[in-house]
Amino acid sequence: MSAAEATRLDHGDDAGGLETLKQGLRVSPELGRGWGVTGLLALTMTAGRIVVPIAVQQTIDKGLSGPGGPDMSFVAWMCLLCVGAVVITGVASYLTTVRLAKNSERGLATMRIKAFRHVHDLPVLTQSTERRGALVSRVTSDVDTVSQFLQFGGFIFLVSIGQMLLATVVMFFYSWQLALVVLICFLPLFASLKYLQRKMSAAYGVVRAKVGEMLSAIAEPVVGAQVVRAYAIEQRTQARIDASIEDYRRTATRAQAITGITFSIGGLAAGLANAGVLTVGVLLGVDGKATLGEILAFMFLVALFSDPVQIATQVLTDAQSAFAGWRRVLGVIATPADVVDPGEDGVTQARGPVTVEFADVNFAYPDGDLVLRDVDVRLEPHRRVAVVGETGSGKTTFAKLLTRLMDPTSGAVLLDGVNAREISFSSLRERVVMVPQDGYLFDSSLAENVRFGRPEVTDAQLLDAFADLGLTDWLESLPDGLESPVGQRGESLSAGERQLVALVRANIADPDLLVLDEATSAVDPGTEVRVNAALERLMAGRTSVTIAHRLSTAEAADEVLVFDDGRIIERGPHADLVQAGGVYTHLHASWIAQRSAV
């Protein structure tokens, strides 16, 4: 598998129905439990249905047309038998449905949890390139499609198979000639079923993919509604949504057309079977080889045989849609994670001052050129380090490797001499915290967002965290204090205020190594002083690495790392680098000129 393939989301298109079922049972073993009892209940329910045509035959041939005339006592017993069969059928039907629902929901909950958990382990590049709506649809609507099929389609499938088998056995018992007539009529359908199944599988695979694309097309403008309105692109946005819906409509229509062919063949076969049984049955009756009761019972049995066959065409349709969705969910789980938690086998490090070392680190994105080259640097404890460079120089990639959002292509990132790959995630995330450029906030209260990484933190500790960063006055200015709602993605707060919340969240986490990715680049001037003061307090006493977009951050750092074309070409204190006449000197001069021009 190439590097590019390793980061591409697996769609599972090559897996057949049986292979998909095997994979699904491995992921969700609960789906395979209790099928013996469920199958026995389904068989009991089917047997109850078969009793009715047998009772009809016995009533006509023995109860009403017996040698001694009508026997009403026998007829009454047959009626009671039918009532008992109907009651047993109803009870068995209820129990089968309940068992299927419980097992399927239990198993699919396991699959949904595993898939959602694995989404967080997917390569960063996969998460960045896969459309959000398409990814979300894999663990929501695709799983729902599987759930509906397993509960309802699975129930119908079990009943249909049992009913067809028992009906076939009873038909051969009454008349092998009539039974052969029925099977010959359905032979074209059985012969074409495998071909049609392949066609439907491919068609519904496209349908499920189009559902994900449609959800993405609808979700993006909903999230970005302000941008859509600001640039007056409602019509263009609507055109994109309309095109996506039309794509889905066309693919769904094509899939349903194949289903229509299958259903039509089934209906034709059922009609031929009824006509054939009636014609041949009359001929057998004339020859004295079949009684009136047997012929009528056989007509019932043909219905019990043909109805499941016709229903099975719809079940087959639902199955193709469900298996297409199932493959997509399993595809998420099958996509390899590039950053793996060593778990219990990993190293748990003691808290305290941390030394960071990049040992001959190289990094390249899949099928791309190196974006970090021969990075070999050691960062001492309690140092404030600023990382600067032109756009695309590799500084953000450096930060992602430092926090193990990605692993190097070669070389190693060491924390206190231990390879980051060998440190358990629980220990690593406790020691290293990153404040991204856009601190994401969840649609909840301010308190819940701040304590997101440590839910056990009390309100009193939260107030202390705000006070530690000198933000008590800002907190008190909010209408509901800690309980103030931040809105979706924190939209109730300004960009600068969202950054303040991200800093307090990092303060609550209390890391040994703090990594800030352009932490002040999105802050309005009125809030920058407050943010800088909070940053000063947050970085005090700990190692910090800042991806500096503004060189004022570099001026305050103990050491500056200058990146160019993926390499560290200069390092040292700000004052020394400014005088060195190198890349940093030109960057600083350009920054000064821009500030003077404002």
**Does 566 lie in the same domain as 451?**
yes
* pLDDT score of 515 more than 60: yes
Strands 418-419 and 567-572: unpaired
**Does 430 lie in the same domain as 570?**
yes
Q: What is the pLDDT of residue 312?
A: 67
Q: Is residue 269 one of the residues assigned to a domain? A: yes
Pairwise CA distance, residues 110 & 74, whole Å: 54
Q: Is residue 469 one of the residues assigned to a domain? A: yes
pLDDT band at 266; cut points 50, 70, 90: confident
Q: What is the percent of the chain where pLDDT is above 70?
A: 87
**Residue found under tokens 């009715």:** 52
Q: What is the pLDDT of residue 223?
A: 64
Q: Is residue 349 one of the residues assigned to a domain? A: no
**Does 528 lie in the same domain as 433?**
yes
Q: What is the pLDDT of residue 488?
A: 77
- Please give the average per-residue pLDDT across 324-346, as a whole number: 79
pLDDT band at 358; cut points 50, 70, 90: very high
pLDDT band at 1; cut points 50, 70, 90: very low
Q: Whose CA is closest to 249, among 207, 203, 205?
A: 207
Domain end, chosen from 309, 334, 359, is at: 334
**Does 386 lie in the same domain as 330?**
no
Q: Is residue 373 one of the residues assigned to a domain? A: no
Q: Which CATH number covers residue 46? A: 1.20.1560.10
**Does 513 lie in the same domain as 402?**
yes
Cα 51 → chain centroid? 46
- pLDDT tens for residues 214-259? 877 777 777 666 667 666 677 888 888 888 888 888 888 888 787 7
**Does 305 lie in the same domain as 234?**
yes
pLDDT band at 7; cut points 50, 70, 90: very low
* pLDDT score of 474 more than 80: yes
Domain end, chosen from 276, 302, 334, is at: 334
Provide the number of structural domains found in the chain: 2
**Does 395 lie in the same domain as 297?**
no
**Does 154 lie in the same domain as 260?**
yes
* Range with the poorest average pLDDT among 9-23, 94-108, 294-308: 9-23
* pLDDT score of 457 more than 90: no
Q: What is the pLDDT of residue 359?
A: 93
Q: Whose CA is closest to 127, among 339, 285, 330, 412?
A: 339
Range of the domain at 514: 378-597
Domain end, chosen from 303, 334, 365, is at: 334
Q: Is residue 352 one of the residues assigned to a domain? A: no
Q: Which residue has the higher pLDDT, 421 or 153?
A: 421
Q: What is the pLDDT of residue 2?
A: 44
**Does 519 lie in the same domain as 446?**
yes
Q: What is the pLDDT of residue 131?
A: 58
Q: What is the pLDDT of residue 144?
A: 76
- pLDDT tens for residues 167-198? 888 888 878 888 888 888 888 777 777 777 77
Q: Which residue has the higher pLDDT, 41 or 127?
A: 41
pTM (two decimals): 0.64
**Average per-residue pLDDT for the chain:** 80
**Does 215 lie in the same domain as 326?**
yes
**Helix, strand, coil shares of the chain as percentages rounded to 5?**
65, 10, 20
Q: Is residue 181 one of the residues assigned to a domain? A: yes
- Across the beta sheet with 418-419, the strand order is 370-379, 356-364, 410-415, 418-419
Q: Whose CA is closest to 583, among 560, 549, 552, 555?
A: 560
Pairwise CA distance, residues 442 & 330, whole Å: 28
